[in-house]
Chains A and B, each alone.
Chain A
Amino acid sequence: MSELTLERGLAAFRAEIDAPTAAFFSSCVHCGICAQSCPFYLETGDPKYTPILKLEPLRLIWENEFTLLGKLKGLLGLQRKVTDAMLAEWEELLYDSCSMCGRCSMVCPVGNDLAYMIRKSREGMVQSGHAPEGLISASVRAIKTGSPMGLQWKTLAVQIKHVEDSTGLKVPVDQVGADYLVMLSSMEVINFPEYLEAITKIFDHAGVTWTLSTQCFEATNAGIQIGNKDIAAQLVERVVAAAETLKAPNVISPECGHAFTAIRWEGPNLIGRAYPFRVFHIIEVLEELRVAGRIKTEGKEMDRLSLHDPCNLARKSGVIQQQRNLMDLVADNFVDLKEHGKYQWCCGAGGGVSSNERAEPLKMAAFKRKKAQIEEVAPERMVTMCATCRTQLEEGLEEFNMDIPVVGLTEMIADHLVEKETGS
C-alpha cells in the first residue's frame, strides 16, 4: 500500500459525503441528547465522548467543501481546517470510544444517523494513517491468512474432528449443493467450539443440508471495523466465491454481530452487486425451523435467564423477536432487560473496540451500563448470540465479581433437542 497521508485521508473523508450526511450535519442543533445514549459518555462522564463531537472531522470537511457558507469562509481565510494533529486526537474518539452500536442514531431528535457517519469517518482515518494498531494488525492478518486471529483451516479441522467424535455425526465440508453454507468466526472456533457442535446437532435433527467450506470459513470483516472499503470488499468476495463454488443458495453468517452486518448489509454494496444467494443469521434460521415445526425440544431451563441483544443483530438488523420466541421454546423463567431490542445497550466491545488493546479501560467502563442493566433484573444466567458480546459479558461479569454464567442461545436449543429414536 502506498503512503498514508493527510491528503489521502481528506480525499477519503470527502468521498464519503453524501446527501444523508449533509442533511444530518445541517440539522444538528447541539442539544447533546446523543451523549445520553452513549455508554462511553455515560460511564466516564467525559463530554469529549459526545457522539456528535466524534464526527467533527467529517463535519468540518462537509462545511468547508460542501456548503456555500463554508466556501465563502474559505475565500476569507476563515475556515478551520482538518489537520493531522486533529485526526490524531480524534483517533481515540472514533475508535476507542465508539462501538458503532447505533443507539445515538435511534434517539437523536433531528434524526441524525450518527453511527452511519462514524463508519464513514473511519475510512478517512485509515487513509490518513490514524487507525489503531490493534485493528491494523487484525486487518493485515485477515487479508494474509483469511482470519483476523491468524487461524488456519487445520485448527478448524481439529475442532471438526472433536465435534464428530462427541456427536457421532458428520460435519459436512465442501458439499456442493447443500442448502446452507455455514460461515464461522475465528473467535467461535477458538473460544466457543460448542457452537459448531450445536449447529451440527440441530441441522441433523431438523434434516437441514449444510456445509462448511475449506475455501473460506471466516466471515468476520476487519475491513468494516477499521473502516477500509478495499479490505472489506476483498473479505466479502472470499465468502461470495466460496458460496458460488459450492452453489449454496443460502449463507449463514457467524453468530458474531458485526460479521452479520458486514455480510448481510454492507457486503453487496462493497462488491457493487447483489448476491446470488441469501444471507441469514443462525438465529433467523433457527426461528424459521421452529416455525416450520422442524425443531422438537423437550424440557426447559428452570433458572432465571435474561437476554443480551447484540447491537448488530437487533438494532442494526431487525432480529429481535426471533430470539425471544426461541427462548420461550427452552426457557421457563425468561425475563427481558428493561431496555432491550432496538433500545438495548451495547456490551461495549463491538465495532472493533475489542480488537484495539489500547481501548481496554474504555471497553470495561462502557460495560458498566450493561452491568447495571443486568443487576436490575438479577438473572442467574445471561444468554446471547454473538461471540464478541459473549466474551465481553464473561470478562466484564468476572471483573466485577458477578457470578452469572453466559451461554449461547444456539447451544441451549441444541441441549434440548428430542433424541432421535433410531440412530442415523
Chain B
Amino acid sequence: MSGSMEFLLWTKGPMFDIAMVIFAIGLLARLAEIFLLGRARNYAEPRAGEWPAGLRTMLTRTVADRGTFERAPFNVVVGWIWHLGFLAALLLFVPHIELAKGLFGISWPALPNPVVDFLTAITLLSLVATLVHRLNHPVKRRISTIEDYLVWTVVFMVVLTGYLAYHRMVNPYPLALGMHILSAEILLILLPFTKLTHILTAFIARWYNGAAFGRKGVQS
C-alpha cells in the first residue's frame, strides 16, 4: 500500500510538473516551428478577405459534407463519437474539474458520474473500433505508421485506466489512480511531438485552408 501511495504522489507531484513543462515548451516550440516559416506574399487580386473565410473553416470543417459522410460513414460517425466522448470525460467529470479548479482557479458544471461512466464505455468501444478499422481498411492500413499505433495505445490507456480506477477494478486504488494520471502525463509529453498536435494545429491548418479558398471566393 505504501508503495502505491508513493507512486500516486510521484505522479501527482514531480512527474506532473515534468509532463506539464515538456507539454508547454514542446507545444510552443512546435508552434514557433510552424509560424516562423511564414508565407509568401500574395499579389493576386483577392475576391474576398482571408480572415472571415479562414475563421469559418476553422469551425465548419468539423462537420463532413454530405457526400463524404455517405462515402465514409464509419470514419465520420465513430470519429465524432470518440472525440466527443473523450472531451466529455476530460472536461465534464467532477474530479477533472476539481483539478482545473486547483490549478487555474476556474470551474464549471459537471455531468453526473453515471453519464460520464457511460460515455467513457462508449469511447473505449469506439476506440477499439477505430483500431480494427485502421488494421482492416486498405487505405488506413497503407498510410498507418508505428506512430499511429503508439498514439492509439496512449489515448486508449488514458481512457481505460480512468475507467478501471473509477470502477475500483484495480487494487490498491492509489495504484489505479496513479496509473491513470501517469497515462495522461505520457499523453501530454507525447502530444507536441506526434500527430496529437492536431488538437491545436488542425485549427491553424483549417484557417490557412479557409483563407486560401476564401480569397478565391470559395468557402471551404
Task: Mark the stretch among A22-30, A93-101, A285-293 that contacts chain B.
Answer: A22-30
Whether A47 contacts B139 in the complex (CB less than 8 A), given A22-B33, A342-B220, A343-B67, comes out as: yes
Q: Are A53 and B79 in contact (CB under 8 A)?
A: no
Q: For B209, what are the chain A residues with a Cβ–Cβ distance below 8 Å?
A: 105, 108, 111-113
Q: How far is the CA of A279 from the CA of B195 in the complex (A)?
A: 41
Q: For chains A and B in complex, what number of residue pairs have CB atoms within 8 angstroms? A: 179
CA gap between A339 and B71 in the complex, in Å: 13
Binds B, one of A31-39, A147-155, A414-422: A31-39
- The verdict on A207 contacting chain B, using a C-beta distance below 8 Å, is no
Within A1-57, the residues touching B (CB, 8 Å) are: 17-24, 26-33, 35-37, 41-42, 45, 47-48, 50, 52-53
Known interface pairs A111-B57, A266-B44, A317-B217; A18-B139 also in contact (CB < 8 Å): no
B143 touches A112 (CB 8 A): no
Instruction: Tell me if B207 counts as interface (CB < 8 A to partner A).
Output: yes
| CB of B210 closer than 8 Å to a CB of A | yes
Q: A23, B208: Cβ atoms under 8 Å?
A: yes
**Cβ of B2 < 8 Å from any Cβ of A?**
no
How near does chain B come to A310, taking the closest CB pair, in angstroms?
A: 13
A145: interface (CB < 8 Å):
no
The complex places the Cα of A366 from the Cα of B139 at a distance, in Å, of: 17
In the complex, whether A192 has a CB less than 8 A from a CB of chain B is no
* Interface set, chain B 189-220, CB cutoff 8 A to A: 193, 195, 197-198, 201-210, 212-213, 216-220
- Chain B residues near A268 (CB-CB < 8 A): 42-45
The stretch of A65-73, A164-172, A355-363 that contacts the partner chain: A65-73
With A32-B137, A66-B37 known as contacts, the answer to whether A110 contacts B202 (CB < 8 A) is: yes
Give Cα A36 to B64, complex, Å: 12
Which residue on chain A has the smallest CB distance to residue B138? A47
Shortest distance between the CB of A315 and any CB in chain B (Å): 6
Nearest Cβ distance between residue B180 and chain A, in whole angstroms?
24
In angstroms, Cα B140 to Cα A48, docked, is 11
Q: Are B57 and A22 in contact (CB under 8 A)?
A: no
Residue-wise, chain B 30-69 has the 8 Å CB interface mask toward A (1 for contact) of 1001111111111111010000000001100110110110
> Within 8 Å of chain A (Cβ to Cβ): is B72?
yes
**B-side contacts of A83, CB under 8 Å:** none
Cα separation A275 to B44 with both chains bound (whole Å): 8
Q: Which of B34, B71, B212 contacts A26 (CB 8 A)?
A: B34
Q: Which residues on B sit within 8 Å (CB–CB) of A146?
A: none
Contact flags A403-421 to B (C-beta < 8 A → 1, else 0): 0000000000000000000
Contacting B44 at CB < 8 Å: which of A22, A267, A339?
A267
B17 within 8 A of A: no
A272 lies within 8 A of B34 (CB): no
Provide the residues of chain A in CB contact with B219, threshold 8 Å.
342
Given A26-B197, A68-B29, A68-B33, A111 and B206 touching (CB < 8 A)?
yes
Q: Is A106 located at the chain interface by the 8 A CB criterion?
A: yes
Asked whether B148 is an interface residue with its Cβ less than 8 Å from the other chain, the reply is yes
Contact with B along A89-124 (1 / 0, CB 8 A): 000000000000000011111111100100000000
How many Å from the CB of B122 to the closest CB on chain A?
19
CB-based contact A111/B67 at 8 Å: no
Given contacts A26-B197, A315-B218, contact A109 B37 (CB under 8 A): no
Quick check: is B101 within 8 A (CB to CB) of the other chain?
no
Instruction: Give complex CA distance A59, B202 in Å.
Output: 16
Q: How far is the CA of A47 from the CA of B138 in the complex (A)?
A: 6
Q: Which residues of A have CB within 8 Å of B193?
A: 68-69
Residue of A19, A68, A316 most packed against chain B (CB within 10 A): A19
**A21 to B, closest residue via Cβ:** B37
Q: Quote the shortest CB–CB distance from B54 to chain A (angstroms).
A: 10
The number of residues on chain A lying at the interface, defined by a beta carbon within 8 Å of a beta carbon of chain B, is 63
A contact residues around B37 at 8 Å (CB): 17-19, 21-22, 66
Q: A318 to B216, alpha carbons, bound, how many Å?
A: 6
B65-A107 in contact (CB<8A): yes
A269 interface hit (Cβ, 8 Å): yes
A312-333 interface (Cβ within 8 A of B): 314-320
Please pick, from B38, B142, B143, B218, the residue contacting A19 in the complex, using a CB distance under 8 A: B38
Provide the bound-state CA to CA distance between A366 and B115, in Å: 47
Asked if A264 lies at the interface with its beta carbon under 8 angstroms from chain B, I say: yes
Closest to A52 in B: B143
Closest Cβ neighbor of B29 among chain A residues: A68
CB distance from B148 to the nearest CB of A (A): 5
Shortest Cβ distance from B212 into A: residue: A113
- The answer, yes or no, to whether B144 is at the interface (CB within 8 Å) is yes
Q: Say whether, besides A47-B141, A342-B218, A343-B65, A36 and B205 are in contact (CB < 8 Å).
A: no
A32 touches B67 (CB 8 A): no
Q: A113-B209, A113-B212 known; A107 and B217 CB under 8 Å?
A: no
Report the minimal beta-carbon distance from B80 to chain A, rounded to whole angstroms: 10
B75 lies within 8 A of chain A by Cβ = yes
Contact partner of B75 (CB less than 8 A), chosen from A32, A273, A342, is A32
CB distance from B187 to the nearest CB of A (A): 15
Instruction: Determine if A269 and B43 form an interchain contact, defined as CB atoms under 8 angstroms apart.
Output: yes
Q: Judge whether A19 and B44 touch: CB under 8 Å.
A: no
Q: A107-B65, A272-B43, A339-B67 given; name 17 further pairs at CB < 8 Å.
A: A26-B198, A32-B137, A37-B68, A45-B138, A47-B141, A47-B142, A53-B142, A106-B65, A106-B220, A110-B61, A110-B205, A111-B207, A113-B209, A265-B216, A268-B44, A316-B216, A319-B217
Cross-chain pairs A/B with CB under 8 angstroms, 12 sampled = A22-B37, A26-B34, A30-B143, A47-B141, A47-B142, A53-B143, A68-B33, A110-B198, A111-B209, A269-B42, A316-B216, A318-B216
Residues of A whose CB lies within 8 Å of any CB of B are 17-24, 26-33, 35-37, 41-42, 45, 47-48, 50, 52-53, 66-69, 105-113, 116, 264-269, 272-275, 278-279, 314-320, 339, 342-343
The 10 A-B residue pairs whose C-beta atoms are closest, nearest first, are: A318-B217, A111-B206, A268-B43, A47-B142, A110-B202, A32-B139, A20-B208, A111-B205, A26-B201, A111-B209
